[in-house]
Amino acid sequence: MTDRKSLPDKLQPLEGLSQNLWFSWNHKALQLFQSIDAELWESSGHNPVALLQDVSAERLQQLSNDQDFVEKLNRIHQEFQNYLQSQPTVFQQQFPDLTDKIVAYFSAEFGVHESLPNYSGGLGILAGDHLKSASDLGLPLVGVGLFYKYAYFNQQLDEHGNQIESYDALDPQRLALKLVTDSTGQPIKISVFLKDHEVKAQIWQADVGRVKLYLLDSNVPENAPADQEITSTLYGGDREMRIRQEILLGIGGIRALRAMGYEPTVIHMNEGHSAFSGLERLRELMEKGLTFEEAYQMVRNSALFTTHTPIPAGNEAFEFDLMRAYFKPFWENLGLGEQQFFDLGRNVNEHKHENFSLTVLALNLSSMANGVSAIHGNVSRAMWKHIFPGIPESEIPIGHITNGIHTETWLHPLMIQMFEEYLGKDWRENIRNAEYWKKIDDVPDSVFWQTMQEMRQEMADYLRAEYQKRLERFANAEHHFPAPDAILDPNILTIGFARRFAPYKRATLIFRDPERLKKILNDPQRPVQIIFAGKAHPHNDAGKELIRTINRFAQEEGYRGKIVFVEGYSMAISRAMVSGSDVWLNNPRRPLEASGTSGQKVPINGGINLSIMDGWWPEAFNGKNGWAIGDDIEFADPERQDQHDSQSLYELLEKEVVPNFYDRDENGVPLRWVKMAKESLKTIIHQFSTHRMVWEYIEKYYVPGMKQATKLSSNQFSLLKEHVRWLKNISAKWPTIHFSVLSNGAENRIFSAGEERDIHVVVHLDGLKPEEVTVELVLERQDALQRSQNMETVALPLEKNLGQGQYQYGKKVRAKTDGAYRFSCRVLPRNENLLHKHDTRLIKWLD
């Protein structure tokens, strides 16, 4: 707050509470702010900082005399202080030796709370939830992003369903942000070189519990107007604007961390937008005297890249000309040639066109990489296998960690109340504990159901008010939208569908057979309503057409009042919909939904998923905790796919969803429904939380990366230098390594079921020592569709030194009993300093 003096003494704690986004997942804090002035709370967009600036002095005086309010404030403030100070944290307990290491998490968007709308969709919400769980778990992590003055656009819809985009300027003085300054109080500024001149940026700090999020902002007076606009909008502008934003995010982000005194041990790039950060780290290390090879290995060994985009075209890439315009001085400064530099990101895209891909750059500049669900891990390995020639698809070093949600952010307060009453006050400490959530069965069905009813009612009230604002706007236009009191019946089966309007998400799939849908909606005994929300990217005409289609149906007889489109999808609307909807509909075209997270917000609030088996859902679905639309079949023809999936959707609605919902006991409780909802809650809440997700990042990547980076850099990078010498030597000799004799296998490399053989191979190591390599037998099942998914490797021990650089390896190997296996042999480099066995990307196969 700028004028803190205006707060009466007794209300001083509001200052600290409003300035830390911890409030965004503490319902008591949110309710407290709302109770200050409900109207201002709504009109400010749930912004406590603006609220405190705008609320009248009388009201503040009144509150400071309100014993109840002051006590509540002090209690919440105490809770906040305890939260910030409590130690040891979960991370400190598990990894006491690593508490001085820091992870820097880079993302182009962060969705922490609707009052700081620095997000467009799932990627940003995920990043925000990642920070919150990092804070809860006590992981030392800082976030790095950009501060977009006009954020993403506001969405309004006219009477024809046309999306109207508008942009409101955010005022950082009225947000939970503070300018980062140096010890003399001067703003810290960094600069990046863009094409032919320096561009400056200041840094805003947002506190997210214990975690700090830094947002770079080019809107400073030193910059020319065109440069001030670099951080104007999220995903607006042309390719040139995009490259400038990403240089500022990646290169500027690293510089900002340095300027503030941070020495992060591990860099996590959330999607390729921040891949240039690796180039800046290369530059820094070379400036310290490392060679390119050394710097390159140091950067890779301390970086993690998370890919999110299973569509080739969705992966960020720039034309070489544009890259040249922005990076020529950069690579010259590093002493690199153009080709060597372009090779870092060179890719051939789906149109057989070569360009500079940030995904490829990020994969090259990180030893650690992952997709965001099991399916997406498979898709990513298949999509990027050309970067790893010779390595079998199933072993491509792109793992997966399935996305989650920050549970407390997305839980309705009524659910929290239910948990505290029936499960215990300790539910927060047990979010990852599967056993704990079984206690949800102790909640009486009628209580559970009553809570669902109340949340549906609350959603209806909230969204009706939103809808009313929209209708008032076109009071004079001709339209057939129903009146607010004719929509959103709080007592009927309510299906929610809210997401970005990207065509692959198939928002209109349920309208494929309009008559059949009409029947489902209008059964007098068992009516159904569907609520839609979501934005189409300003350049996505196909997405906008889908919005128009739904808005046409919303005005048509037979659908009016049953189909509602709520404009301006935001975290606030999302919270309402995921807690008030009975069913969450998700019908993307497989396998294009990398993970999806909105569906994870639903079961924790008692709702049930009705979803295509894509993204996270196959990992959650157990046959009893929701419904699977279609099956695993993927048709080449999208028409057939839509037909197949929509049939399945209608059938599920007609035969299961609707009957289950309306099958009531004598007290009006749908027992079968509640059973499924409880099953859904207890099987999903722990697994699809960012607490589980962040912990997995810690164990799989952050901790190994911290140890690796520390090891390689200690003693003035002595181990790094040794490692690079080894790598150079092995890379130089690798081309001449070859197999010669394979005995007991050369004639027939097929094992039949259960067969046993004594296999020996001779490898010419050409001066390499036998302990520098691993020789493996690889068995691939012959009859399986995806052979590499059924692959087994067996290490062959060294048997004899045959002299003259030749070594014999071998073992008695027994095949599995379930079919025929073809076998082959391969050599891989071996070194204890490799993060994983394919990190060198060197591999040699027996022909």
Q: Which stretch binds ligand PLP (CB under 6 A): 121-129, 193-201, 312-320, 694-702?
A: 121-129
> Which residues pair with residue 612 across a beta bridge?
629
Whichever of 540 and 806 has its CB closer to ligand PLP, that residue is: 540
In angstroms, give the least distance from the CB of 124 to ligand PLP: 8
Q: Which stretch binds ligand PLP (CB under 6 A): 171-179, 355-363, 389-397, 563-571?
A: 563-571
Q: Whole-number minimum distance, CB 686 to ligand PLP, in Å?
A: 18
Among 200, 268, 499, 692, binds ligand PLP (CB under 6 A): 499
Would you give the binding string for ligand PLP spanning residues 592-631, x where CB under 6 A is met? Answer: ----xxxx-x------------------------------
**Smallest separation, CB 143 to ligand PLP (Å):** 18
User: Based on CB atoms, which residue is closest to ligand PLP, 494 or 611?
Assistant: 611
Beta bridge partner(s), residue 597:
none
Return the range that interacts with ligand PLP (CB under 6 A); candidates 234-242, 469-477, 551-559, 568-576.
Answer: 568-576
* Interacting span for ligand PLP (CB under 6 A) from 453-461, 536-544, 564-572, 716-724: 564-572
Assess contact for 668 and 593: CB atoms under 8 A: no
Residues 6+ apart with CB under 8 A from 730: 768, 772, 829, 840, 842
**583 sits in which H/E element:** strand 583-586
Q: Which is nearer to ligand PLP, 573 or 759 (CB)?
A: 573
> Cβ closer to ligand PLP: 660 or 690?
690
Is the N-terminal amide bond of 588 cis, ω within 30° of 0?
no
Binding segment toward ligand PLP, per CB under 6 A, in 28-36, 39-47, 545-553, 591-599: 591-599
Nearer to ligand PLP among residue 116 and residue 194 (C-beta): 116
Are 431 and 691 in contact, with CB atoms under 8 Å apart?
yes
* CB of 312 closer than 8 Å to CB of 349: yes
Cβ contact 623:596 at 8 Å: no
CB of 597 to ligand PLP, least distance (A): 5
The residue range among 142-150, 179-187, 468-476, 566-574 that interacts with ligand PLP, by the rule CB under 6 A, is 566-574
Pairwise CA distance, residues 272 & 257, whole Å? 19
175 vs 571 by CB, closer to ligand PLP: 571
Which residue's CB is nearer to ligand PLP, number 121 or number 705?
A: 121
Shortest CB 233 distance to ligand PLP, Å:
17
Closest by CA position to 739, among listed 840, 827, 831, 830: 827
Please say which residue, 431 or 703, places its beta carbon nearer to ligand PLP: 431
Q: Which helix (H) or strand (E) holds 347?
A: strand 346-348
Pick the closer one to ligand PLP by CB: 427 or 569.
569
Least distance from ligand PLP to the Cβ atom of residue 199, Å: 31
d(CA 40, CA 804): 84
- Main-chain phi, psi angles of 370, to 5 degrees: -150, 155
Decide whether 308 or 723 has the Cβ nearer to ligand PLP.
308
Q: Which stretch binds ligand PLP (CB under 6 A): 178-186, 327-335, 375-383, 569-577?
A: 569-577
Report the C-alpha gap between 365 and 300 in whole angstroms. 5
Q: How far is the CB of 402 from ligand PLP (least distance, A)?
A: 12
Contact predicate 586/599, CB 8 Å: yes
Question: What is the nearest approach in angstroms of ligand PLP to the Cβ of residue 596?
Answer: 4
CB 565 within 8 A of CB 547: yes
571 binds ligand PLP per the rule CB under 6 A:
yes
CB of 375 to ligand PLP, least distance (A): 14
**How near is the Cβ of 577 to ligand PLP at its closest, in Å?**
9
Name residue, tokens 């500022």: 248
CA 668-670-671 angle, to 5 degrees, is: 120
Least Å from the CB of residue 495 to ligand PLP: 15
Rounded to a whole number of angstroms, the CA Rg of the chain reads 29
Shortest distance, position 626 Cβ to ligand PLP, whole Å: 14
Report the residue number, 628 or 724, with the smaller CB distance to ligand PLP: 628
CB of 407 to ligand PLP, least distance (A): 13
Q: In the chain, helix, strand, coil percent, each to 5?
A: 45, 20, 35
Amino acid identity, position 706: M
Ranges of H-type helices in 214-372: 225-228, 239-247, 253-259, 276-287, 292-300, 320-333, 338-343, 358-364
CB of 268 to ligand PLP, least distance (A): 19
User: For residues 624-649, b (16+ Cβ closer than 10 Å) or e, as one string?
Assistant: ebbbbbbeeeeeeeeeebbebbbebb
Nearer to ligand PLP, 17 or 502 (CB): 502
Q: How far is the CB of 283 from ligand PLP (least distance, A)?
A: 35
Cβ 742 vs Cβ 760: under 8 Å: yes
Residue 699 three-state SS: helix
Is residue 185 packed enough to be buried (19+ CB in 10 Å), middle (13-18) or exposed (0-12)? exposed
Q: How far is the CB of 134 from ligand PLP (least distance, A)?
A: 18
Residue (149 or 601) nearer to ligand PLP, CB = 601
Using CB under 6 A, count the residues that bind ligand PLP.
Answer: 13
Q: Are 649 and 629 in contact (CB under 8 A)?
A: yes
Q: Under the phi-then-psi rule, with left for phi > 0, alpha for psi from -120 to 50, and beta for the rest, what region is 483? A: beta
Query: What is d(CA 450, CA 456) in angstroms, rounded to the nearest whole number?
Result: 10
Backbone angles phi, psi at 477, to 5 degrees: -90, 160
Nearer to ligand PLP, 385 or 499 (CB): 499
Binding part of the chain for ligand PLP, among 9-17, 413-421, 507-515, 590-598 by CB under 6 A, reads 590-598
Q: Which of 569, 697, 702, 807 binds ligand PLP (CB under 6 A)?
A: 569
| C-beta of 95 vs 584, nearer to ligand PLP | 584
Rank residues 464 and 601 by Cβ distance to ligand PLP and give the closer one.
601
Q: If you ran DSSP here, which 8-state letter would residue 508 be given? A: T
Closest CB 466 distance from ligand PLP, rounded Å:
14
Q: 13, 117, 121, 704: which one contacts ligand PLP (CB under 6 A)?
A: 121
Helix (H) or strand (E) holding 696: helix 690-697
- 10 Å CB burial of residue 104 (0-12, 13-18, 19+) is buried
Q: Which of 36, 125, 285, 835 binds ligand PLP (CB under 6 A)?
A: 125
Neighbours of 139 (CB within 10 A): 28
Q: Compare residues 122 and 392 and give the one whose CB is closer to ligand PLP.
A: 122
Site track for ligand PLP across 679-698, x = CB under 6 A: --------------------
Interaction site with ligand PLP (CB under 6 A): 121-122, 125, 499, 569-571, 574, 596-599, 601
